[in-house]
Amino acid sequence: MAFTRRKTLTHLLPLIALTATCGMGSAQAQGDYPSKPIRIVVPYPAGGGTDTIIRLIGVQLSQRLGQPVVVENKPGASGILGNDTVAKAPGDGYTVLMGITAVVQVPALYKKVPYKLSDLTPVSQVAKSADLLMVPRSSGVTTLQQFVDKARAAPGTLNFGSYGNATTSHMNGERFKQKAGIDITHIPYQGSGPEVQALLGGQLSLAFVDVTAAYPHIKSDKVNILAITGAHRHPALPQVPTMTEAGYPALAANGWFGVFVPASTPRAIVDKLSAEVASIVKSPEVSKRLTDMGLVPVGSLPDEFKAEVEKDAAHWKSVAEATKISMD
């Protein structure tokens, strides 16, 4: 019996040594991270808000980590192509996603999505965004209740614009219609730029415009701002009530920009990336740039961002179900 035990231990020793060596190698690899260029995938075209933000962060991230940071634009299918690319990438910290709220909205809007939310690990929320509810000043409408009263008095005659089908603005608009009990026609545009121009031209009765695109026009004499989505008033627009304050708490969710990595990425690497991104976002230079874009800088830790992602996934799923918006 003793012989058998010694023999078993003898056979186990090489395995134990190999396991220890592998563990040391893994720890050493994480300790050396990063040792080569980092690729950040943006699921949208170059020049857009998401692209601009991550290039701003990427410059400092490269300096801090001592490795090149390469931004790769991979647009297509409402962000699905880029999101899926990162979800299926090796979890080594060298493939990173710069995502937006669509990361959690897409699974609620499409029946077949090639990735699951559990395939991605939240690293840090970079900034919060929101939609402004804007009307042409020529309409004479100055409050949200006035718009609702006008819409109820003439069902089917007014419209609302969004920056695209199945976007946050579309979902918010349809939810608003339901909660207000009004009949207004949805008019989608290919992005916020054309939507804003249509609003300024008086072609829209109401527009849900993302705050970044609306920001250059907030002091325009051609528009009135009635309310803002999200949980809190915007620092630059303290006079504009939230939708909750206006009586529509169902539109309290913020949009956001955030960094993700594949789910298999070691926690040590996640924490290192998170610390660097959060520090960059909170730096005076980047914080000011984000604020100047109409955004609210955040720079959260992984667990904080994960909690928000899970909360928002449930929210947008309920909105999709209530409004019956689907892309299938």
Residues 83 and 228 reside in one and the same domain? no
- CATH, residue 73: 3.40.190.150
Q: Do 323 and 174 form a contact (C-beta atoms < 8 A)?
A: yes
Domain assignment present for 89: yes
Nearest Cα neighbor of 257 from 103, 84, 91 is 103
Domain end residue (candidates: 225, 251, 277): 251
- pTM here is 0.87
Could you tell me if residue 27 is inside a domain? Answer: no
Residue 238 lies in domain: 131-251
Q: Are residues 103 and 63 in the same domain?
A: yes
Tokens 């999709």 belong to: 320
pLDDT at residue 1 in the model: 36
Domain with residue 204: its CATH number is 3.40.190.10
- The answer to whether residues 222 and 260 belong to one domain is no
Same domain, 216 and 142: yes
Residue carrying structure tokens 């995938």: 41
Is 5 part of a structural domain of the chain? no
* Structure token digits, residue 79: 């962000």
Q: Kindly state whether residues 121 and 269 are assigned to the same domain.
A: yes
Residues 118 and 265 in one domain: yes
Q: Which of 251, 277, 296 is a domain's end point?
A: 251
The reply to whether 4 falls in a domain is no
Q: Is residue 160 a contact partner of residue 187, using CB atoms and an 8 Å limit? A: yes
Nearest to 30 by CA among 223, 280, 266, 328: 266
| 153 assigned to some structural domain | yes
- Domain boundary pick from 234, 251, 268: 251
What whole-number distance in Å separates Cα of residue 132 and Cα of residue 322? 22
Is residue 301 a part of any domain in this protein?
yes
Q: Which amino acid is at 216?
A: P
Task: Take residue 4 and report the two structure tokens written for it.
Answer: 């058998």
In a domain, 94, yes or no: yes
In order along its 328 residues, the chain shows pLDDT tens digits of: 333 333 333 344 343 334 444 444 444 445 799 999 999 999 999 988 899 999 999 999 999 999 999 999 999 888 999 999 999 999 999 999 999 999 999 999 998 999 999 999 999 999 999 999 999 999 999 999 999 999 999 999 999 999 999 999 999 999 999 999 999 999 999 888 899 999 999 999 999 999 989 988 988 899 999 999 998 999 889 999 999 999 999 999 999 999 999 999 999 999 999 999 999 999 999 999 999 999 999 999 999 999 999 999 999 999 999 999 988 7
**Whole-number Å distance between alpha carbons of 121 and 102:** 15
Supply the pLDDT for residue 116.
94
d(CA 148, CA 155) in angstroms, rounded, equals 10
Residues 6 or more apart in contact with residue 87 via CB below 8 angstroms: 114, 115, 116, 119, 120, 262, 263
Q: What pLDDT does 30 receive? A: 56
Tokens of 191: 């992005």
SS3 of the chain: CHHHHHHHHHHHHHHHHHHHHHHHHHHHHHHCCCCCCEEEEECCCCCCHHHHHHHHHHHHHHHHHCCCEEEEECCCHHHHHHHHHHHCCCCCCCEEEEEECHHHHHHHHCCCCCCCHHHEEEEEEEEEECEEEEEEHHHCCCCHHHHHHHHHHCCCCEEEEECCCCCHHHHHHHHHHHHHCCCEEEEECCCHHHHHHHHHCCCCCEEEEEHHHHHHHCCCCCEEEEEECCCCCECCECCCCECCCCCCHHHCCCEEEEEEEECCCCHHHHHHHHHHHHHHHHCHHHHHHHHHCCCEECCCCHHHHHHHHHHHHHHHHHHHHHHCCCCC
Same domain, 53 and 105: yes
Number of domains comprising the chain: 2
- Residues 106 and 147 both lie in one domain: no
Are residue 89 and residue 136 in the same domain, yes or no? no
The residue count of the chain comes to 328
Q: Are residues 316 and 272 in the same domain?
A: yes
- Structural domain contains residue 29: no
Question: Could you give the CA distance from residue 280 to residue 57 in angstroms, rounded to a whole number?
Answer: 7
Domain match, 142 and 291 both = no
Q: In terms of domains, do 194 and 291 share one?
A: no
131 φψ region: left (φ > 0), alpha (ψ -120 to 50), beta (else): beta
